[in-house]
Structure 1
Amino acid sequence: MKRYGSVLGLSEEGKAEYRKLHAAVWPAVLAKITECNIRNYSIFLKEPENLLFSYFEYTGTDYDADMAKMAADPTTQEWWAVNMPLQRPLDTRKPGEWWADMTEIFHHD
Structure 2
Amino acid sequence: MQRVCFLLKVREERLDEYRERHREVWPDMLDALSGAGWRNYSLFLREDGLLVGYLETDDFGSAREAMAATEVNARWQAEMAPFFEELDGRPDEGMRPLDEVFHLD
1:65 aligned to 2:94?
A: no
Aligned to 2:76: 79
Aligned to 2:104: 108
TM-score, scaled to structure 2: 0.86
| Residue type of the alignment partner of 1:73 | T
**Structure-2 change in CA distance of 1:67 and 1:98 (3 Å):** same
TM-score, scaled to structure 1: 0.83
- Note the residue ranges of structure 1 that are not aligned, 5 or more in a row: 92-96
Q: How many residues align?
A: 101
Aligned to 1:23: 23
Structure with the higher helix share, 1 or 2: 2
Give the distance between the partners of 1:74 and 1:8, measured in 2 at CA.
23
Structure with the higher strand share, 1 or 2: 1
Kindly state the Cα deviation for residue 74 of structure 1 after the two structures are TM-superposed: 1.1
Give the distance between the partners of 1:35 and 1:20, measured in 2 at CA.
24
- Note the residue ranges of structure 2 that are not aligned, 5 or more in a row: none
Once superposed, what is the RMSD of the aligned Cα atoms? 1.8
